[in-house]
């Protein structure tokens, strides 16, 4: 620690005065007092401390405060917090001290800023969990994130004084999370600078190469832009439009990214030239109309590239960005990108979230821009904390990175969704109950499954059914965190309700019979109903699969020594270490392996073999694979016979328990005399009369004979036999038989 020299004291004072002079939102005497008070405390607290570059440490908080004030446009409280942001972490001051001196709000923001520094310092799981906690500040005060972005930007601007390994770490963090976060909050200039600086330290050679090529082309670029702009300037002036026009080179990072994704050289990037037109709008004409008017004037001069029109004035981006982008063919045979914005749009584009406050319609309480909606979605994610913090971080990152698509409701309202969203994601975006009851969708008036991936501009109508309930299967059909959380929550609630209902029904029935519930009684009941656990028993009673009418008889039976212990295997579990016996030691191969439904598990306790597709009621055997997974084969299956011959020690007899909730895929072949209405009769018997879901339907007709196959979901062998029996009654039906081997 070394004292400040007189020269350094003057330097610090001049930097602070510059901060006060150039502070757009520090209008009152009170604001100036607050900022000065924060500066004095920070200056005293950091006295004698220096950065790695050797300069006094206090210059860093002042620089961060300048970014917060001048580049993001925040007010006095945020500037004070920027000045104080390292005080609690690096000095003897505590959060309690800050609260006592500056009040609760500033202390809360400083607390968030102090916690955020821990994010990248621990192992990945703790890091992800910390990040989740930090994002909770979005629910209270987004200024925490904005000040942290300013802090990161200044650190990136002064990164050269750190060792190379530290540079790489900080640059990687920046591109991983901070640049996408700046982008999502609409801070385009900060996002661009963070990306460029990150590239500079991660791939210095590549950065220098692209930068030198841009500089080499600078003179020519200016000439081309001037040549391109002159006819536009003339045309806009003729139409009395008040505007500014500027040529803008693409950022180093965006050029590099395009070279990577399109696998092209620097010279092959066709829209390196870009022009921005920012106009001062007429007060009584909508800005959108004026944007399109300017677009019309430009395309009178230059021919547009139709597939490069980007209309963000009709539907702004999720971070609030509004502009009209088009790419036109310039006079020298080069494509030029033109961005058209009003002054309001330009300020929001450059300064992001802070500029929204200035333009927000405060009189309209229902007003909610796309950025507000995104923050609301982040809050929803945070209110449903995942068991796995890394999973949360992945989902949050997906929501940061993905570009949006615009989806229309049947009434023509728009919803911004992440790219890759499915029809089911959209159902949950409308309302949780719509998602829970969804059975299908119509996209552009055409029926599609819930797994259908949506494209921008699709009009989507969700089809619901009162009887529909979410299932684990549906998790495969969704990508958004909102939909995943809603499905998991619904399943947990349903499971809990079913278990409670089942337990109450059993307890009430035992009371009626004058029996005191005990572990011995429960053991008898479990054995008799062929279930493996209390939860499975309660679940089956609650769902009506197990009827308690014969409970009195069961309790009179002597079930001594008939208890079969059930070992549930998790799918995809890693093999046991070599010094520990595998699952063979846990599963008694001399006793039956009970094939229970386990409807509440994401991972069923066994796998159905694809070579023979057994269903409940078939004679089956279990094979314990090298991965410790029990694979169920029909006893007559050729593969099962081979396994029994070669791996007898890994074979276990298996026995189905009652199956009334889970459905199994089966295939039947049909053949008969062709006639009008046969297809209608087939589907009527299967779907309407027997209430069986059809997965696939393939029928061909030739020379008066029809034949084909139907894939459908059945509960067990008796369910399938009943179906075959009913189909054989149809007029002209010659043969209906089950097929064992098929691809689903």
Q: Specify if 650 maps to a domain.
A: yes
CATH number at residue 55: 1.10.3210.10
70 with 202, same domain: the answer is yes
Which of 340, 359, 378 terminates a domain? The answer is 359
Query: What is the per-residue pLDDT for 140?
Result: 54
Q: Kindly state the DSSP code that residue 652 receives in the 8-state scheme.
A: E
Residue 122 belongs to some domain of the structure: yes
- Annotated catalytic residue within 8, 55, 90, 627: 90
Q: What six digits make up the tokens of 387?
A: 């068991």
| Cα–Cα dist 479/405, whole Å | 14
Which two three-digit tokens encode residue 53?
């570059």
Residues 330 and 189 placed together within one structural domain of the fold = no
- The string of pLDDT tens digits covering residues 220-260 is 878 888 889 999 999 999 999 999 998 877 789 988 888 87
Specify whether 165 is located in the same domain as 265.
Answer: no
Q: What is the CATH number of the domain that holds 250?
A: 3.30.460.10
Catalytic residue among 17, 18, 44, 89: 89
Task: Give the pLDDT confidence of 9-30 residue by residue, as tens digits.
Answer: 888 888 888 888 888 777 788 8
Q: Which of 505, 537, 556 is the last residue of a domain?
A: 556
Q: Which residues contact 71 (CB under 8 A, 6 or more apart)?
A: 150, 153, 189, 190, 351
* The CA-based dihedral angle spanning residues 120, 125, 130, 136, taken in that order and rounded to the nearest 10 degrees: 130
Is residue 372 one of the residues assigned to a domain?
no
Per-residue confidence (pLDDT) for residue 462, from 0 to 100: 92
What pLDDT does 363 receive? 34
The answer to whether residue 466 is domain-embedded is no
Q: 420-447: string of b/e by CB count within 10 Å (b at 16+)?
A: ebbbbbbbbbbebeebbbbebbebeeee
Domain assignment of residue 397, yes or no: no
Query: Within this chain, do residues 46 and 189 fall inside the same structural domain, yes or no?
Result: yes
For residue 148, the enclosing domain spans 6-207
Instruction: Go through 321-353 and write b for each residue having 16 or more CB atoms within 10 A of its CB, e for each that does not.
Output: bbbbbbbbebeeeebbbbbbbbebbbbbbbbbb
Whether 257 and 153 map to the same domain: the answer is no
- The two tokens of residue 359 are 């333009």
Which among 656, 685, 716 is the end of a domain? 656
Is 744 a domain residue? Answer: no
659: nearest Cα among 587, 704, 611, 608? 608
CB contact at 8 A, 705 and 673: yes
E strands within 412-483?
Answer: 414-418, 438-443, 446-448, 460-464
CB 435 within 8 A of CB 483: yes
Distance CA 257, CA 251 (A): 10
On whether both 323 and 224 belong to a single domain, the answer is yes
Same domain for 66 and 192: yes
List phi, psi (to 5°) of 281.
-75, 155
Q: Specify whether 299 is located in the same domain as 218.
A: yes
Within a domain: residue 147? yes
Tell me: do 109 and 182 sit in the same domain: yes
Residue ranges for the chain with pLDDT beneath 50: 119-128, 130, 137, 139, 358-368, 385-390, 393-394, 398, 401, 559-585, 599-600
In this structure, the answer to whether residues 651 and 612 fall within a common structural domain is: yes
Domain count, the chain: 5
90 catalytically annotated: yes
pLDDT at 281: 92
Q: Are residues 516 and 622 in the same domain?
A: no
- 162 contacts 146 by C-beta, under 8 angstroms: no
In a domain, 477, yes or no: no
pTM: 0.54
Indicate if 631 and 499 belong to the same structural domain.
Answer: no
CATH for 668: 3.30.70.260
Task: Please say if 89 is a catalytic residue.
Answer: yes
């Amino acid at each position: 620690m070394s004292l400040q020299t007189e020269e350094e004291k003057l330097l610090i004072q001049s930097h602070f005065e510059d901060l006060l002079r150039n502070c757009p939102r520090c209008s009152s005497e009170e604001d100036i007092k607050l900022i000065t008070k924060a500066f004095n405390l920070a200056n005293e607290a950091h006295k004698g401390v220096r950065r790695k570059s050797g300069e006094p440490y206090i210059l860093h908080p002042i620089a961060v405060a300048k970014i917060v004030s001048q580049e993001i446009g925040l007010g006095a409280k945020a500037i004070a917090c920027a000045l104080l942001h390292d005080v609690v972490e690096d000095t003897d001051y505590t959060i309690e001290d800050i609260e006592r001196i500056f009040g609760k709000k500033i202390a809360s923001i400083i607390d968030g800023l102090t916690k955020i520094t821990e994010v990248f310092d621990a192992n990945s799981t703790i890091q992800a969990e910390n990040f989740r906690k930090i994002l909770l500040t979005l629910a209270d005060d987004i200024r925490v994130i904005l000040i942290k972005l300013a802090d990161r930007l200044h650190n990136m601007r002064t990164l050269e004084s750190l060792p190379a390994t530290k540079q790489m770490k900080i640059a990687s963090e920046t591109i991983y999370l901070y640049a996408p976060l700046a982008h999502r909050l609409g801070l385009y200039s900060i996002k661009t600078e963070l990306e460029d600086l990150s590239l500079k330290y991660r791939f210095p050679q590549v950065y220098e190469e692209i930068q030198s090529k841009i500089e080499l082309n600078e003179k020519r670029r200016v000439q081309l832009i001037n040549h391109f702009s002159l006819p536009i300037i003339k045309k806009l002036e003729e139409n009395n439009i008040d505007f500014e026009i500027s040529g803008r080179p693409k950022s180093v990072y965006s050029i590099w990214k395009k070279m990577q994704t399109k696998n092209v050289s620097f010279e092959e990037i066709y829209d390196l030239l870009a022009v921005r037109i920012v106009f001062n709008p007429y007060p009584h004409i909508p800005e959108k109309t004026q944007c399109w008017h300017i677009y019309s004037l430009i395309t009178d001069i230059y021919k547009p590239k139709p597939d490069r029109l980007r209309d963000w004035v009709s539907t702004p981006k999720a971070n609030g960005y509004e502009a009209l982008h088009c790419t036109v063919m310039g006079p020298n045979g080069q494509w030029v990108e033109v961005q058209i914005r009003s002054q309001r749009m330009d300020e929001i584009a450059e300064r992001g979230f802070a500029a929204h406050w200035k333009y927000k319609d405060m009189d309209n309480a229902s007003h909610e821009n796309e950025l507000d909606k995104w923050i609301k979605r982040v809050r929803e994610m945070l209110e449903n904390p995942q068991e796995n913090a890394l999973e949360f971080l992945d989902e949050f990152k997906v929501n940061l990175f993905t570009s949006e698509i615009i989806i229309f409701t049947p009434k023509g309202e728009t919803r911004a969704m992440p790219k890759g969203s499915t029809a089911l994601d959209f159902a949950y975006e409308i309302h949780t109950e719509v998602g829970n009851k969804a059975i299908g969708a119509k996209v552009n008036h055409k029926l599609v499954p819930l797994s259908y991936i949506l494209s921008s501009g699709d009009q989507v109508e969700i089809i619901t059914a009162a009887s529909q309930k979410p299932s684990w299967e549906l998790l495969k059909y969704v990508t958004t965190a909102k939909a995943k959380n809603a499905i998991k929550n619904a399943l947990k609630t349903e499971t809990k309700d079913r278990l409670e209902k089942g337990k109450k029904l059993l307890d009430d029935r035992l009371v009626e019979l004058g029996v005191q519930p005990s572990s011995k009684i429960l053991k008898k009941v479990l054995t008799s109903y062929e279930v493996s656990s209390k939860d499975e028993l309660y679940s089956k009673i609650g769902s009506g699969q197990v009827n308690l009418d014969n409970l009195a008889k069961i309790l009179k039976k002597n079930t001594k020594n008939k208890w079969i212990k059930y070992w549930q295997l998790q799918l995809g579990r890693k093999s046991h270490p070599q010094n520990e016996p595998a699952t063979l030691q846990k599963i008694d191969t001399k006793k039956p392996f009970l094939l229970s439904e386990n409807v509440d598990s994401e991972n069923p306790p066994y796998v159905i073999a694809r070579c023979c597709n057994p269903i409940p009621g078939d004679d089956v055997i279990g094979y314990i694979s090298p991965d410790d997974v029990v694979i169920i084969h029909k006893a007559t299956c050729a593969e099962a016979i081979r396994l029994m011959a070669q791996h007898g020690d890994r074979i276990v007899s298996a026995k189905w328990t009652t199956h009334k909730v889970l459905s199994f895929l089966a295939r039947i072949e049909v053949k008969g005399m062709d006639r009008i209405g046969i297809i209608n009769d087939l589907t009527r018997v299967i779907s309407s009369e027997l209430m069986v879901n059809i997965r696939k339907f393939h029928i061909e007709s030739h020379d008066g004979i029809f034949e084909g196959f139907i894939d459908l979901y059945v509960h067990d062998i008796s369910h399938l036999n009943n179906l075959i029996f009913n189909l054989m009654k149809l007029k002209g039906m010659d043969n209906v038989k089950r097929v064992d081997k098929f691809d689903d």
